[in-house]
């Protein structure tokens, strides 16, 4: 699977959905490939009082459901297919579910990736 293919996987599940007046979902989609080569995806949830979560969270939950935790590469995109690097909370989650994910490649654009450890240096668990 190419970087473009993974971006397409993340984008095809985007599309704003409003299940209630207080909640929207699908503004962002994430897709990841595990060490075993499986692809998992997820969408964000925005809800009142800040109780939603990022698309990366739901893709990670889908991965954990299949008892995998090591991520090779990950991307998140909005409905316009613009790539969004993971927020600080997601960076922390990715690392805490498996320290090997320090080497996870985060897609920045079609030609560039950056590792999680470059985005999350001097991690508090390792100091």
CA distance 52 to 44: 7
Instruction: Report in angstroms how near the CB of residue 124 gets to Zn ion at its nearest.
Output: 18
Beta-bridged to residue 115, according to DSSP, are 105
Q: Check if 82 is active-site.
A: no
Instruction: Report in angstroms how near the CB of residue 26 gets to Zn ion at its nearest.
Output: 15
Which residue in 22, 56, 62, 72 is the catalytic one?
A: 56
Q: Site residues for Zn ion, window 75-104 (CB under 5 A)? A: 87, 90
Span from 11-19, 23-31, 49-57, 66-74 in contact with Zn ion (CB under 5 A) = 49-57
Contacts of 52 (CB under 8 A, 6+ apart): 23, 25, 44, 45, 46
Q: Site residues for Zn ion, window 51-70 (CB under 5 A)? A: 54
Strand, coil or helix: 119: helix
Contacts of 82 (CB under 8 A, 6+ apart): none
Indicate which residues carry an active-site annotation: 56
Contact residues: Zn ion, CB under 5 A = 54, 87, 90
């Amino acid at each position: 699977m190419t970087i473009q293919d993974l971006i397409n996987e993340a984008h095809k599940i985007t599309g704003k959905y409003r299940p209630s007046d207080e909640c929207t979902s699908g503004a962002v989609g994430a897709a990841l490939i595990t060490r075993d080569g499986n692809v998992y995806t997820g969408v964000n949830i925005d809800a009142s009082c800040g109780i939603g979560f990022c698309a990366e969270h739901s893709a990670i939950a889908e991965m954990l459901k299949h008892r995998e935790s090591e991520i090779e590469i990950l991307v998140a995109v909005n409905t316009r297919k613009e790539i969004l690097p993971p927020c600080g909370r997601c960076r922390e989650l990715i690392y805490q579910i498996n320290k090997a994910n320090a080497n996870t490649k985060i897609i920045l654009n079609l030609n560039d990736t950056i590792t999680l450890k470059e985005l999350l240096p001097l991690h508090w668990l390792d100091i």
